Every structure is written in structure tokens, then in C-alpha cells.
Amino acid sequence: MADIELVGVQKDYGRGRKAVRAVHDLSYTIADGDFVSLLGPSGCGKSTTLNMIAGLEDITGGEILIDGRRVDDLDPDKRDLAFVFQDYALYPHMDVRDNIGFGLRMRKVDKAETERRVVDAARRLDIEHVLGNRPRNLSGGQRQRVALARAIARRPKVFLFDEPLSNLDALLRDQTRSELKLLHAELGATSVYVTHDQEEAMTLSDRIVVMSRGRLEQYGSPYDIYHRPATEFVASFVGKPRMNLLPATRVECGRYAVGGSSFTVDVPGVDAERIRLGLRPEECSVQPVGEGEHASGVVKVVEPLGNASDVTLDLGSCLFVVRIPGFTGLTVGDPVLLSAQGATLHCFDPDGGARLTAADAR
């Protein structure tokens, strides 16, 4: 088991004036035994970061330490880690047994021990019956398990996963995700998992690294990431449906009008003229306008999902999504009253996107 420490890690592609910085000054520590996800959209530098930890890509600046030992100048096989690739990267010319045992053979582990570990890994992942098959004769799920078994058989200090579930269909993905969580609980090895799927990151991880455009946006527990997003990017990226993020202008002390509409919200403790206000759709509610009440907006789209319905409201100058439980009787064009009573208010700096609190708001 091992902890991983990134200290000011940078990655540039190209040289001189043509150099493009793909990863900016990453500094954080992944604790021993933690399952940490690197989450972000395509091109945010999460796979590059994983490759730098693995040693598949050189770092341009900073240091990477595993178990307190600097590893960024070591070859990948000297870092004692296993890597599960997005496309599984199974050797097509070897059978499953040879695929799982290849890394052990290259490390000159004796034959009996190799066989014992191969069978043990295969048993854990329930692929003992396909040990003699070639990868092309396996289903996607089985290939995925072989890739995992290959990593397990090595018994490394660190497991690295590069979107290992993205090639599976939805049902198998959910099932494998649960199995992966069980496997981590069983092995307890430090794991770094790259994904662009927030659900995967939230369900699997002890902590999440959210990245955007090569920068660290937030490093925290799934609870923190969801309930206290550090930046507007994190707020918009995590949560389904997406958080409503709208410009809000102060209309009176502590009261803000959202998106230039008549819908106003009390924001205590923030003292800024303009803010970006975030409200989670599932924390807001909507009800038909009563006699003599002034409507906040009209229903524009209703999307029933079975257990909930997403209702998109037109507030006049902007759209606002509300998730309500079950099916709804609301129809397109209905005037409605929007309420953010009890919802957590997320305020962000309209210029930098950083989270505002009463202390730093001006």
C-alpha cells in the first residue's frame, strides 16, 4: 500500500514558443488505500496526469512521490503499479492465462507462484473458465475482467484505471462498477481512477479530483464536491441534471433577482452587486399559480423520467430546470410559481468563478 504525492506537477507538449501547457501545477496527496477519481471533461488533462503517475509520460516540472520515494525519474515497471486501460489492451496473441501472467513472467516470478497468482486473480473475477481462451473469443465484460485480473495478479502498491468501464454497455457498466468497489474494499490498494462520468466518480471514490483545462478545480470528498463546489465549473459539472447557474443582481440588501427575471432569492451574508447564483434542480420546487399570485414563469418542457420529472421553466429572460418527484400534472404553457425555499444557495464570483462566502464577497 502507498500514498501518492503530486508536487507542482506540470506537463508541456512541444518546445520553446510552441509549447502548450496541458497540466498546470498540480499539488495534492492521495492517501494510502484511498480510491481517488480524476474527473473532468475530455481534454482536461486527467489521462495525462494518470500517465504521468504511471510513467508513460514524462513530467515537465514538479515531483511525483509514491510512498515518500520520488518516482518521476523511474521507468514505469519500477514504480510498482498496475494499469487498466480503456480498451483493455489485452495481448491478442496470448490466451487469458498468459495475458494475466505476462507481467509476472517479465518480473521473473517463478512458474508455480505465477500460476498460483493467475488462478487466484481469475477466481476473484470469476473468469477461471476462460483461462485457455484468446481475448477475441471473450465478451466485452470478460475482457474487462481479464484486464482487471492482470492488474490484480501483479499485487502492486497502486492501481491506475483509465476509464475502464467506458466501453461497456450501461447495464454491465453498473454491475462492474459495484464489483470494482467490492474489489477495492477487499484489496485495499491505493487506486487512481480516470473518468468523465460523474456518477462513476461519485459512487466509487473516497475523494475526487475535479480538473478543467489542465488545472485542479477541487480536491475533496464526493460530499464536498456536491454540496460545496469550490468553483462554478465544479458546480456545473457535478450533478444531474446540471445545477441552474444564473447571473443574479442585487435588488435590495441580501435579495437578488435571478437572471433578470421577477424570481428573487434571499442570499444572506453575501454583499456583492452581481453574483452567479447556483441552485440544484432537485432542491427547488414548482407549483401552479394560485388566485391573485404572480407567476415566476411558464412551463416550457416537461421530461418525465419515471421516478422524477424534469420541468424546464421559462423565467422570461432565462431558463430554469426543476426536478420534481414522480409524474407531474403540469403541461407546457402553464404559469407556475418557483420556490427555492430550503435549497442550498451556491454563490460564485461572476468574473473568476470562485465560490463566494460571506467573508470574501464584496
Give the C-alpha separation, 179 to 213, whole Å: 31
Letter for the amino acid at 81? L
Residue 150 CB, nearest approach to other proteins (Å)? 8
Nearer to other proteins, 164 or 259 (CB): 164
Residue 127 CB, nearest approach to other proteins (Å)? 17
Residues whose CB falls within 8 Å of the CB of residue 17, separated by 6 or more in sequence, listed in order: none
Nearer to other proteins, 83 or 233 (CB): 83
Give the C-alpha separation, 88 to 80, whole Å: 19
- In the numeric block, which cell numbers belong to residue 281? 434542480
Q: Within 13 Å and on the Cβ side, how many CA atoms surround 27? A: 5
Nearer to other proteins, 102 or 263 (CB): 102
Residue 304 CB, nearest approach to other proteins (Å)? 41
CA distances from 332 to 288, 302, 305, 317 (A): 12, 7, 16, 17
Residue 53 CB, nearest approach to other proteins (Å)? 12
Residues whose CB falls within 8 Å of the CB of residue 319, separated by 6 or more in sequence, listed in order: 300, 312, 313
Nearer to other proteins, 190 or 261 (CB): 190
Nearer to other proteins, 51 or 231 (CB): 51
Give the C-alpha separation, 237 to 354, whole Å: 14
Give the C-alpha separation, 229 to 208, whole Å: 12
Nearer to other proteins, 20 or 106 (CB): 106
Give the C-alpha separation, 277 to 266, whole Å: 11
Residue 107 CB, nearest approach to other proteins (Å)? 5
Nearer to other proteins, 28 or 85 (CB): 85
Give the C-alpha separation, 88 to 72, whole Å: 24
CB 49 within 8 A of CB 211: yes
- In the numeric block, which cell numbers belong to residue 139? 465478451
* C-beta atoms surrounding 103 within 10 Å: 18
Nearer to other proteins, 40 or 55 (CB): 55
Residue 94 CB, nearest approach to other proteins (Å)? 9
Give the C-alpha separation, 214 to 35, whole Å: 21
3-state secondary structure (DSSP) of residue 25 = strand
Residue 103 CB, nearest approach to other proteins (Å)? 4
Residue written as grid cell 486473480: 121
Residue 24 CB, nearest approach to other proteins (Å)? 24
Given the rule CB under 8 A, which residues bind other proteins?
54-56, 75-77, 81-83, 85-87, 89-93, 102-103, 106-107
Give the C-alpha separation, 182 to 303, whole Å: 34
Nearer to other proteins, 107 or 116 (CB): 107
Residue 90 CB, nearest approach to other proteins (Å)? 8
